[in-house]
A and B are shown apart, each in its own frame.
Chain A
């Protein structure tokens, strides 16, 4: 038997009734009260009228979509707009769009030409840099992480977690970010140069598992000389789901076996860290959800 409504509760229910938000049982309860109270009936009419007024007043206040803006948005949905979209994604502000109708296409074309030129001039031999496809989940050595409690010394896992939070929230918190390219295709070369290692690093692209590269910077964590890379989720609805990747050169001091992935702190639900080795390079991946991070780790460890 439902509890009787007090006046405040009734007013909230009347509003929800007026909005068509109540379930059948609650509707019946309000109708019952309305039959006894002319005031409740008046409030339903009032609320419905108020909604129409707000709608009307605010719609009138809103200007129509400017034709230039509409054209720009429509152009984004055409296949030919991919280069423009890519150019706008990589740091350019939409404010520039107001400069002129042809500014974006011209800029996109120039960027595309420059990018192609740079790529042709600098591309590594394809056989030395493994390309990343979507990871084959059924045939990958990283099936499940192996727990290794003392893989990262002292309080460094917590410090890595805090640094990940700061940089994921605001990429400019990544000190030295200007030393590294923002292009995901070119970042392995920068990392190799910084760490002074050979050119066998895979392409550090996580787009196949839903992340885009945000930036990289030099870092003293997890120890020694390392590079910290930050990736943000492509889906904007995934708030707080960024991941951080630390890469360091290693001469054998980190006790991880190639072909396995290790969990450095499985009890820390907020910031699990996965660790693996490829040759003389060790990778540390921090984020929020181990399952998604495992997908990312598989993508960064392409199986031949």
Chain B
């Protein structure tokens, strides 16, 4: 691929990279630093980039996540076996189905606030998967590749994240008199 074309593709993803950086750092200045570092490394690694079906975005996200998790430490990136067992145990609590209802009939502003809070309070591993999937539109396999986890783990974490959000929003639905099942 020509360098100019590579630059064009990378710059087209600036918004997405910045958005993901902002949600990871939760701080504008730190997000800016992370974006710069990501582009520096991406430009340096240009000769090794191979354009695939989904474009440059998953590759940039992988760089971004590697930098971010290198900075926050390996502990957060690599949960211990005990952590995984604890989360597996928590996941088993979801044997009861999360509620489902007509979300479109809710008060959006109120829902948005509650939803933002609920997403912010999610465990980091659920949040990462949710954001890559919901906002950036990555496929399960791409999320697995970005986060360096198995496909089944992505599905489980996403299932867990959505169930938690649905539970959290159930109270909003109930306040609106919407039957929650």
Q: Identify which of residues 16-30 in chain A touch chain B, using a CB-to-CB cut-off of 8 Å.
A: 16, 19, 21
Q: Identify which of residues 69-124 in chain A touch chain B, using a CB-to-CB cut-off of 8 Å.
A: 69-70, 72-74, 76-77, 85, 88-89, 93-95, 97-98
Q: Is B28 an interface residue, CB under 8 A from the partner?
A: yes
Number of A-B contacts (CB under 8 A): 142
- Check A12 against B33 for contact (C-beta < 8 Å): no
The 8 Å CB contact of A53, one of B22, B59, B115, is B115
- Check A235 against B119 for contact (C-beta < 8 Å): no
* Interface size, A (range): 35 or more
- Check A236 against B14 for contact (C-beta < 8 Å): no
Q: Identify which of residues 114-155 in chain B touch chain A, using a CB-to-CB cut-off of 8 Å.
A: 115-116, 119, 130-131, 133-135, 139-140, 148, 155
Q: Is A159 an interface residue, CB under 8 A from the partner?
A: no
Q: How far is the CA of A88 from the CA of B14 in the complex (A)?
A: 19
Determine how close the nearest CB of chain A comes to the CB of B164; give it in whole angstroms.
Answer: 11
Q: A21-B139, A46-B103, A59-B19 in contact; A69/B155 too (CB < 8 A)?
A: no
Q: Which residues of B contact A237 (CB under 8 A)?
A: 45, 48, 59, 62-63, 66
- Check B43 against A50 for contact (C-beta < 8 Å): no
The 8 Å CB contact of B19, one of A11, A62, A72, is A62
- Check B14 against A11 for contact (C-beta < 8 Å): no
Q: Which residues of B contact A89 (CB under 8 A)?
A: 40, 44
The 8 Å CB contact of B104, one of A49, A58, A72, A77, is A49
- The residue on B at minimum CB distance from A48 is B103
Q: Is A47 an interface residue, CB under 8 A from the partner?
A: yes
Determine how close the nearest CB of chain B comes to the CB of A236; give it in whole angstroms.
Answer: 5
- DSSP majority for the A interface? helix
- The residue on A at minimum CB distance from B32 is A69
Determine how close the nearest CB of chain B comes to the CB of A72; give it in whole angstroms.
Answer: 6
Determine how close the nearest CB of chain A comes to the CB of B14; give it in whole angstroms.
Answer: 6
The 8 Å CB contact of B33, one of A8, A63, A94, A236, is A94
Q: Is A54 an interface residue, CB under 8 A from the partner?
A: yes
Q: Is A251 an interface residue, CB under 8 A from the partner?
A: no
Q: Which residues of A contact B84 (CB under 8 A)?
A: none
Q: Is A56 an interface residue, CB under 8 A from the partner?
A: yes
The 8 Å CB contact of A77, one of B10, B44, B112, B139, is B10
Q: Is A1 an interface residue, CB under 8 A from the partner?
A: no
Q: Which residues of A contact B66 (CB under 8 A)?
A: 236-237, 239
- Check B44 against A50 for contact (C-beta < 8 Å): no
Q: Which residues of A contact B62 (CB under 8 A)?
A: 236-237
Q: A46-B101, A76-B40, A234-B44 in contact; A58/B63 too (CB < 8 A)?
A: no
The 8 Å CB contact of A73, one of B36, B97, B131, is B36
Q: How far is the CA of A55 from the CA of B135 in the complex (A)?
A: 5
Q: Which residues of B contact A11 (CB under 8 A)?
A: 97, 159
Q: Is A60 an interface residue, CB under 8 A from the partner?
A: yes
Residues of B whose CB lies within 8 Å of any CB of A are: 7, 10-11, 14-15, 18-19, 22-23, 28-29, 32-33, 35-37, 39-45, 48, 59, 62-63, 66-67, 74, 94-95, 97, 100-104, 111-112, 115-116, 119, 130-131, 133-135, 139-140, 148, 155, 158-159, 162, 165-166, 181
For this complex, 28 residue pairs linking A to B, each with C-beta atoms less than 8 Å apart, are A8-B94, A11-B97, A12-B155, A12-B159, A16-B155, A19-B133, A19-B140, A43-B100, A46-B166, A50-B165, A55-B134, A58-B116, A58-B135, A65-B35, A69-B18, A70-B14, A73-B11, A77-B7, A88-B40, A89-B40, A93-B33, A94-B36, A95-B33, A98-B32, A236-B62, A236-B63, A236-B67, A239-B66
The 9 closest A-B pairs by CB, nearest first: A54-B134, A46-B100, A77-B7, A94-B36, A49-B103, A94-B33, A57-B112, A235-B48, A57-B115
